[in-house]
Amino acid sequence: FFFKQKTAYEIYQCDWSSDVCSSDLLVRRRTNLDRRNVPLIDETVRIGHLYQLFDQHFGRTGGTRVVRAPGRVNLIGDHIDYNGLSVLPMAIQRNTLLVIRARDDRTVRLANADERFPPRSFKIESRIEPNDAGDWVNYVKAAVQTLLEKDRDLNGFDAVVSGSIPI
């Protein structure tokens, strides 16, 4: 795992066999609806789908981990945390999920479960140049660039990303 340590968001370390990602699992849906009347997809279904996509983009899923980062809202209001004021964040059910596997080189390869966002890759270098404004890979590049400030010896990774936070 490229962070070289366990993080608070790490929830699984497993290799899923192909029967876990069966078509039966992929069609299962929760019955409750969010406020925009869009079905919430069971997280198990999303993870199964991510493993299938990982296999398609990067080969077998051995050595992978599933990482979950919850969305958050600030109960006090917007635009105060970066102005140095107090915040009161709260995690919400919406999240970003990744199926990720460490690499032995400094290449980062990414695929997104949302077909609107094409696969991307980049090399980990001392200065990671952003893509055009609005490109989804810039979020990952910024995170990796920040991690480089703490550890210059990062290895790359392969990852498939899925977000349930509306854009």
| pLDDT tens digits for range 120-134 | 999 999 999 999 999
pLDDT band at 81 (very low <50, low <70, confident <90, very high): low
Residue 62 pLDDT? 85
Q: Are 138 and 122 in contact (CB under 8 A)?
A: no
The helix (H) or strand (E) run that includes residue 49 is helix 43-58
| pLDDT tens digits for range 60-73 | 878 999 999 999 88
Residue 79 pLDDT? 67
State if pTM tops 0.75: no
pLDDT band at 54 (very low <50, low <70, confident <90, very high): very high
| pLDDT tens digits for range 6-46 | 333 333 333 333 333 322 233 233 333 333 434 445 788 89
CA dist 146 to 3, 20, 53, 58, 143, Å?
12, 35, 27, 25, 5
The Cβ of residue 34 has, within 10 Å, a number of other Cβ atoms equal to 13
pLDDT at 138 over 60: yes
